[in-house]
Amino acid sequence: MSRRTMALLSRWSSRVFSVEVDGETVYFKINDNQPGKEGKQEVRRLFGAVQKDSWCYSVFVSSGDKIQSARFHWQLKDKLLNALPAQCRLSPMSSFLPNVKDSLVHGYFLQTASRESSAATERLLRQWLQLDDPLLVCSYLRDNREDSPQWTQHLWNHQQNHGIVPSQAPPYHPATLNLINSDVFYSFQAARCVFEKCADIIPEAASVLELLPRSGGVEPRREPDFPVIVLEGLDATGKTTLTESLRDTLGATILRSPPQCISPWRARFDQEPPILRRAFYALGNYITAQQICRQTSKTPVIIDRFWHSTASYAIATALSGPVCDLPAEGSELYCWPSDLLQPSLVVLLTLDPEERKRRLRDRGQGETKEEHELESNLLFRLRVEEAYRRISGPTCISVDASSSAEQVLQQVLLLIKAKCHL
């Protein structure tokens, strides 16, 4: 048994467990002195649809290595979907110690529909448990001996049984305990370290490392000769049109993040778990920062997306649920990395959702995975937009992009004149 697994088990009774069920999150904990009853709303929501002769299971990934654990968890979903009985329902699950950073572990909750599917699921999990050390497995047993059925968690790795009781939702989303330098990177070295650890197993990571600046972040801080202007916003808000208009009007240089030099590997890392995908985009920002430093002595620089996009999408993806689940304004999670060049001005183009959808249809382009998520999941879009607004140092200045391209250009030129003295 790995040290990570032993550490998890040593404080198992102090942990809170969360399961996403039908768009809501159910929290429960262990309390052997007060076994959970089906009459409790939260427990009923989790177990109420389970048949009397079937069980539920949870599978957690407990590897001590952060990258290995992330990749194992990412691959486990496909492995479960391909191998489990068709009647078995799979839901995201996590476990954490309240208010303890980096205590979050991810897994899946399995709901079986019959005695046969329960037996098949258990055989499969026992086979995997013998082969895969990072796995931590529990089954959830229903006791029908009393008038009010109770549920018990049976921890396979320790041969322990615990009564289940509902738990209050934490004051903030549990994933916030794990965001720093896993979903959002706040230094060049933290992002680079992730790629160094996986370079032996992912050749593309080694290729990206070869392009990185040795010293990391940016050149010693100095006031740039020309302003650095970042344009942010969802797809179809007019960023490309505005970028080109500003280039022509100001005689500016256009840069993008991720930069062209690593774009060939973008699709590859979009297929990896969040820690690798977000590290890739973070490193792209630092490469772009180096390019900015070389250009600002010659011309103004216009950047099509930068760290705001990287952080906003990462936070909105990691924290499922309503906007109120986001970290509060002023949280360290919204702070600009201290070693990343700060732009002179960040403009966030906003657009009515229906108008944005119309523009997307007129483009006739296929949707990216994140774009599809924006359209199909209103809460996700709201989280992205709110995260944009909360990032500080510098903050975004919102500009309504529903006017004509010329009117939007004039609005932004006025901002540049006021903020950048151009």
Q: How confident is the model at residue 50 (pLDDT cuts 50, 70, 90)?
A: low
Residue ranges covered by each domain of the chain: 3-176, 220-269+287-420
**Does residue 58 register a pLDDT over 90?**
yes
Do residues 175 and 20 lie in contact, with contact meaning Cβ atoms separated by under 8 Å? Answer: no
- Nearest to residue 337, comparing CAs of 215, 209, 194, 216? 216
Amino acid residing at 236: A
Task: Give the best-scoring range by mean pLDDT among 126-140, 154-168, 397-411.
Answer: 397-411
**Does residue 100 register a pLDDT over 50?**
yes
Architecture of domain 220-269+287-420: 3-Layer(aba) Sandwich (3.40)
- The position carrying tokens 């391209």 is 405
Question: What are the tens digits of pLDDT across the range 242-295?
Answer: 999 999 999 999 999 999 999 999 999 999 999 999 999 999 999 999 999 999
Question: What are the tens digits of pLDDT across the range 127-145?
Answer: 888 776 688 999 998 776 5
Please state the rounded mean pLDDT for residues 306-329.
Answer: 90
Average of per-residue pLDDT values in the chain: 85
Question: What are the tens digits of pLDDT across the range 201-220?
Answer: 999 999 999 999 766 555 54
Residue 266 is predicted with a pLDDT of 94
Residue 49 is predicted with a pLDDT of 58
Q: How confident is the model at residue 190 (pLDDT cuts 50, 70, 90)?
A: very high
Helix spans in 48-97 (H): 66-83
**Does residue 39 register a pLDDT over 50?**
no
Please state the rounded mean pLDDT for residues 360-364.
Answer: 70
Q: How confident is the model at residue 22 (pLDDT cuts 50, 70, 90)?
A: confident
* Residues 300, 5: Cα–Cα separation, whole Å: 53
Peptide bond into 149 cis (omega under 30): no
**Does residue 400 register a pLDDT over 80?**
yes
Provide the edge-to-edge strand list for the sheet that holds 228-232. Answer: 253-256, 301-304, 228-232, 345-350, 397-400
**pTM of the full structure:** 0.88
Residue % of the chain over a pLDDT of 70: 86
Task: Give the best-scoring range by mean pLDDT among 63-67, 109-113, 305-309.
Answer: 305-309
Residue 41 is predicted with a pLDDT of 60
Residue 421 vs residue 327, higher pLDDT: 327
Residue 220 is predicted with a pLDDT of 44
Residue 354 is predicted with a pLDDT of 79
* Residues 89, 109: Cα–Cα separation, whole Å: 8
